[in-house]
Structure 1
């Protein structure tokens, strides 16, 4: 009995000493702990792409931008019908970075952009809409590769319907002094699965002298169709043009274009040299 009492007394003493030690133990300081870092913009911070850049990158990946730019130049034939009339029929040749362009028309006249000036050849050829033709159709062709160009700004927008399917959209605008028409804008439609560029609403402000009200009142849209692959790179071989409003999307059909014989070139040679018997188009 005496032994049991001694054992119990020892347990009580050990327990008291343990509680005393816990009581005397200083608590860990918490006020100086570094806060857990949280990335801004909903998790898109340093080391991660912004949402708009991710939108751009997925389109560029779908259209094999790196592979496209690995080629020196590309050529294709284009036939454009607008408002029931043939607007352009000819062969377009352009460097893949769009820095030089040549259009050989069916009527044997030529438009050449050498990186600085636009030349019309022969000098007495019809120059109506020449500069517009020089840059507009090549921009539509190269649009999937232009979204991250210097001066381009992309802002994500709400999804919009196209072919009864919701598409991700973003508005493309330009910094002042970018290109021939920095007041233009585009609404880019990206396929929800393939992420490829399927359509773009746009305004044409070229020649407006800063008054964009007419263009803003009459937006158009291009719908890319009938994709084919050349060197594993997808290209739309049918373009359809429509009226467009923000509320309704595409409305009346205005025209169409057919793209054929897409060919890559690895040397530019003298294709973009200033031609004889030509004049500069401003």
Structure 2
């Protein structure tokens, strides 16, 4: 009888185990993929990054001005790290101190590899605008963004992304005489662009780098956007102080920019405070993230 009970017990255990396995298999077959888990389809292959960085180094270090830029890229974490980290997310809060100027505050995710971006209003998550690399678009009511979103789409990247943005096509570099800023010797490089590069090829940037560390200390620049200056020309030069640099996954990026009018090559009247927060490199994005969304308006 003991043997019979034991045999029945073993048989029951086997049946129970088989049933559990079948149920588990059935449950596994019925599990749907989690829609919030998205493969990073916008990731760039490592070999592409290696090749682009190699070419950038060869091109930049062939000139004295380019060597300063390359050294600064290395000091800020390296061009390879900048690209390997993927798209950059940040809140970019542009706050003019002049009463008649418009604040521009949005959360954006920008793809430095392809110059693509999506901005989202900080007060209305349904209000967005962006640039696909070819098309500027907006999906919002007329009051959500009281400024030229086509112009602004990539502007934050070109205000805070130096020296990495000097990797692009159509960039010309000129080494200017050394200068002194905040009692420190600076290496100075002027950046201009070939005709047809971007929407405002007449823009220029004059970058001041600490001569010892090669970290960016200040940027002088003009705005020549044709929609603002229909008969040519540009606004007066601005002098932008670079505030505290923070380490974002191995890349040093500014958390504060303070813009002044330039007076004799130095900062004059303080006119704009720019706070950059919530910086993070975004590791997972759907393949169509930077495409123009359904219902958006082409600009």
Scaled to the shorter chain, the TM-score interval is 0.7 to 0.9
Determine which of 86, 93, 97 is the counterpart of 1:79: 93
CA distance in 1 between counterparts of 2:185 and 2:273 reads 24
Classify the secondary structure of the residue corresponding to 1:266.
Answer: coil
Q: Deviations over 1:151-205 (max 9, x none)?
A: 0001000122221222110111111001110000111111111101221100000
Q: Which residue matches 1:256?
A: 273
Q: Deviations over 1:36-69 (max 9, x none)?
A: xxxxxxxxxxxx7321221121111112221011
Q: Which one of the candidate residues 231, 240, 255 is aligned to 1:237?
A: 255
Distance in 2 (alpha carbons) for counterparts of 1:139 and 1:97: 13
Corresponding residue for residue 18 of structure 2: none
2:84 & 2:68 partners in 1: Cα distance? Answer: 22
| Aligned 1:60-209 pairs, distance under 5 A | 60-63=73-76, 64-84=78-98, 87-108=103-124, 109-122=127-140, 124-125=142-143, 126=145, 128-206=147-225, 207=227, 208-209=229-230
CA positional deviation for 1:123:
5.4
Deviation at 1:91, TM superposition (A): 0.6
Note the residue ranges of structure 2 that are not aligned, 5 or more in a row.
1-60
Shift, 1:127, TM fit = 5.8
Matched-pair contact (CA < 8 Å) for 2:85–2:249: no
Pair member with larger Rg: 1
Q: Distance in 2 between matches of 1:179 and 1:196?
A: 26
SS in 2 for 1:67: helix
How far the C-alpha of 1:122 sits from its partner, in A, is: 2.1
2:14 corresponds to:
none
For residues 80 and 228 of structure 1, the distance between their equivalents in structure 2, rounded to whole angstroms, comes to 18
Change (3 A) 1:89 1:104: same
**CA–CA separation in structure 2 for the residues paired with 1:49 and 1:221:** 28
